[in-house]
Structures are given as C-alpha cells and as structure tokens.
Amino acid sequence: MTNYSPPQDPAGEHDDRFYRALVDNVHPPSWNNPEPAGEYNFVVLGAGPAGLVAARAAAALGAKVALIERHFVGGDCLNVGCVPSKAIIRTSRLYAEMRAAGTFGAQVPGDIDVDFRSVMQRMRRVQTHISRTDSAQRLSADGVDVYFGEARFAGRRAVEVDGKTLHFRKALVATGARPKMPSIPGLVEAGYLTNESVFDLTEHPRHLLVIGGGPLGCELAQAFRRLGAQVIIAQDEPMFLPKEERDAAQILSDALARDGVEIHLNSKVVAVRMEGGMKVADLVSDDNKSSVSVDEILTGIGRSPNVEGLNLDAAGVAYNTDRGIVVNDFLQTTNRRIYAAGDVCLEHKFTHTADASARIVVQNALFLGRKRLSALTIPWCTYTDPEIAHVGLYARVARERGIPVRTFTILMHDVDRAVTDGEEEGFVKIHVRQGSDRILGATVVARHAGEMINGLSLAINAGIGMRALAQVIHTYPTQAEAIKMAADAYNRTRLTPTLKALARRWLAW
Ligand SMILES: Cc1cc2nc3c(=O)[nH]c(=O)nc-3n(C[C@H](O)[C@H](O)[C@H](O)COP(=O)(O)OP(=O)(O)OC[C@H]3O[C@@H](n4cnc5c(N)ncnc54)[C@H](O)[C@@H]3O)c2cc1C
C-alpha cells in the first residue's frame, strides 16, 4: 500500500479549516490505495463530474468498480471551475447590490470595502460543503475502489496506477480538460493566472487583464471588477460569447461596461513584458496599437483535453490533441471496451454534459444500451449578471439548415417580477418552426436565466410545444412568466382574420 500526498496549497496561504476539510474529502492525506483483487467490471479514469457519476452509478448497480484520480476528487468543477467561480460571483453580486442600494431605496452606511480574504474563505467553505457528497471516503463506503495516482493504460484491458495493474472488462476515460496555453511572446516569463491558479489568490489584483471573452473570461472579469479590481478584458473577436445571439452578447457588453470593466473587442494581445514591476501587455486592434499595464493577467481562451500521458496508443484508443478522444455516437472509442465522457471528448464542456454523457456510458458499456449522444438536449448558461442561457438551435443555425423560423420575444422590462426586482435587463426569445408550435431553440437573458432555461429544455426534450406551454399556469409574479408570455404571443398568431371574424359574429349573436 502506498500513501499519496495530496497536492499542496501552492502559496501555503489557505491554512484555514475549510481548506483542510476540503482536502480531507477530495484527497485525504493518509489515503491508502486498495489492492486490486481480480478483474474489475468497470475502471474509470478521472474523478471529475463524468467519472464520479459513472463510478457511483455502476457501483450502485452492483458492478465491481475502480475510480482513479491523480489530483482532487470532484475534478475541475468542484476545485477550480463551476463551484469556486459561482461562489465568488455570488459575493461579487452582493457587493454590486450594496453599491446600488440607493436605487432600491436602501442605504449602506460608510464606504464599502471588499474583504477579499473572507470572500475566498467563503468560497472554500462552499467547496467543502459540496465536496461531502463525493468525498473519497463516501465513494469507498458506496463500494467504489478509489485509487489516487496517475492512470496510464498498460494494454487494451489494463490500467496502471501507483505501481498496481488494474484489469478491466470495460473502462471509461473521463480525464477532463485543462486551460489552453496562449502563445503570446513574453507571457510565460511575466507569469499569468488560469482557472487553476486564480482561486488561490489571497488578495485581489489591483489591475487585472483578462484575455478571452468566453464564459470564463466574462464571468471572472465581472466578478473581479465587482470585488474591487480595475479590470480590462481583451477579446480578439467583435463580440463576447461569439456563439450567442448578437443582442444577448450586446447586453453583456453593456453590463460589463456599466460595471466599469474596460472593454477591448477585436483586440489581440500580441506581447507581454515586465516594466517597473508591472506586466505590460501590447494590444493590436485593426491598425491601432495600445498598451495596458496591470499586476495580474488571467487567461481564458479555451480548454485542451487531457489525453497526454494516458498511453492511449497502447490501449488502441484514437485521439486528437485539440478535440480529444475520438468517440462514436454511443461514446465508444476505437477500442470497443473503452468509452469516454465529459470534457475529454465532448464539444460542449459543461458539468451537466459530463454528467449526461457518463449516464450514457454506464448504460451502453455495462447494460447493452444504445443511448446516443446526439439525442441529448443540452442547455448552457454563462453566469454573468445578467445571465445568458441557451438551449436548442440558434435562429441563424436553423436558417442555415433551411428550417423556417419564427421568433417570439418578450423583454424582461415587460415582466412584472423583473420590474419589482429591478432586474429588467434582458429577454426571453423562443424560436419556433414556422407553421407549427414546435420549439427549436431559445435564448434567455435575465438575472436568473440559468434557472429559466430549464423549463424550455424540458419543453424541447418532452416535445411540448408553444400551445401546451401557453396552458401552463405560472405563479405570479415570477420572471419565468416571460416564457408563458412568449407562448401567449404565439397563440395570438393562430387567430387568423377568418377566426377573428367568426369570433366577432359569435359574440354579436
Ligand atoms: C472557471 C470554470 C468555470 C466553470 N463553470 C461551469 C459552470 O458554471 N457550469 C458548467 O456546467 N460547467 C462549468 N465549467 C466546466 C466544468 O467544470 C467541466 O465541464 C467539468 O468539470 C467537466 O467534467 P469532467 O469530469 O469531464 O472533467 P474534469 O472535471 O476536468 O475532471 C477530470 C478529472 O480527471 C483527472 N485526471 C486527468 N488525467 C488523469 C490521469 N492521467 N489519471 C488520473 N486522473 C486524471 C483530473 O485530475 C480531474 O480530476 C467551468 C469550468 C471552468 C474552468
């Protein structure tokens, strides 16, 4: 038996009880790896959301399961992704609301000082709380053999970890992804943050440059600005969140600007250098050159799948260093005994897709299932303020595919609850196949768009059309009423002139 030491707190700064409790759950310092006894039904590489869901489900169904994690159970989501980011976004929102107290008829006495250490301590408390569900001890108690160490295939049916060889009937690669490294001259020498290091900060940077205007860049740029940093964001495309509808991205741009984030769209960071203790970044936008001087740089330019070091060739698993492990629609790799799920193979890198893909794998790998990835309805949300959520097709994509689209839009400033809450920015936009009530896709921009989109995902998934949505009684006042209002708008289009004339005659009679 070997004891693995957990990765250390890099700055040695988080020696609070929450950090220690978190580590006790996600990589207990005195953990003893089990001794493999016989062949496993299912070996899972990586204990992020995909690996956890698959290992738990398989063990609950009676399979003999091993789960291998080289770092922290919970993966990116719990440790350096969704959970810490949403925790600090929550506090940053509170600070924004305190500053805007006057607009709500309230007053905050004195200056508002941000206590960044407490913000980060709360973040670790939140992580600790959430980590209890999937702690190494709990997984073990639920029948999963948890191994800490680097997993590496030793053939088509065997994996090595910590000097032990685990034989399997089926395996799942769920090793996730890591931040893509930008190739900007001088950046490495000057030093920069990624999502893997930004949550270790103990003081907020006074001046922060965020490179990348995707979900990560936008969420953290707004959060750090609201937590008191001067933030500059550079995006090398004409708008943020390039996949989203233009008006949604425009609202986000306006919101960031209102918060005081300095926005550089269409701007490429071409070089970084140190000058007088500051990091100076050179930006190019069309033919204009400018420089910004900051004390920290955070990059969020995309994710690279973790395929290196797994010895995938020995296992006969084909992969691509950009797109990850090659899978078919059943999530099977080129070795029919080995499957992949989550960020290591999927285009949509989200926790809920990691979860959904892991469920597909359990059914297909262990129970002769024929579940398809392409059958999933996948929503997503960027947790800025306002949030931007989407599900299904975008109008432009539907048109590109030759599908005729009709769009129903409700502005949040026409929704009573949004008005009472002072959260009037945004809209609900539902795209319907012309001539039918079938929902093709929807975008919601609203304070709680991430919650609201779930109703529309349900509708698409269950084949519920606009007519049925219009019959659903929504509680008043709620922001989700915007969805019913859009469905009512659809219903009004069914009133043709002939129907109207008939109704008029009926009423006159
Ligand atoms: C800042 C940020 C915010 C995010 N916010 C959201 C959000 O709000 N909502 C959302 O849905 N998604 C969000 N995501 C994305 C989400 O975190 C990922 O999609 C999700 O974690 C993917 O799960 P996974 O299991 O595929 O991979 P991961 O979570 O990356 O887990 C993979 C695990 O495999 C382990 N591993 C890798 N290689 C090996 C090896 N050789 N041996 C053993 N173990 C190995 C890793 O240590 C890791 O623990 C965010 C991501 C970031 C970076």
100-123 pLDDT per residue, tens: 999 999 999 888 999 999 999 999
What pLDDT shows up at residue 359? 98
Give the angle 405-495-406 at the CA atoms, nearest 5°: 10
More reliable by pLDDT, 20 or 464: 464
Query: Which 3-state string (H, E, C) describes 325-336?
Result: ECCCCCCECCCC
Quote the CA–CA distance of 246 and 196 in Å, as a whole number.
30
Residue 373 near residue 357, CB atoms below 8 Å: yes
Packed helices 116-131 and 82-99: angle between N→C axes, nearest 10 degrees: 140
**H-helix segments, 463-496:** 466-471, 481-493
pLDDT band of 7, cuts 50, 70, 90: very low
* Ligand 1 centroid, distance to 469 Cα (angstroms): 35
Phi, psi of 41 (to 5 degrees): -65, -35
CA-based R_g, the chain, Å: 25
Where on the phi/psi map is residue 212: left (φ > 0), alpha (ψ -120 to 50), or beta? left
pLDDT in tens, 59-79: 999 999 999 999 999 999 999
Quote the CA–CA distance of 162 and 382 in Å, as a whole number.
38
Smallest Cα–Cα separation from 43: which of 30, 54, 33, 27? 54
What pLDDT shows up at residue 334? 98
Q: Which is the closest atom of ligand 1 to the Cα of 220?
A: 1
Consecutive H or E run containing 78? helix 75-80
Hey, which of 56, 77, 355 would you mutate to test ligand 1's pocket, going by the most ligand atoms within 8 Å of its Cβ? 77
The answer, yes or no, to whether residue 6 has pLDDT greater than 60, is no
* Ligand 1 centroid, distance to 303 Cα (angstroms): 10
What pLDDT shows up at residue 19? 86
pLDDT in tens, 385-406: 999 999 999 999 999 999 999 9
The answer, yes or no, to whether residue 2 has pLDDT greater than 50, is no
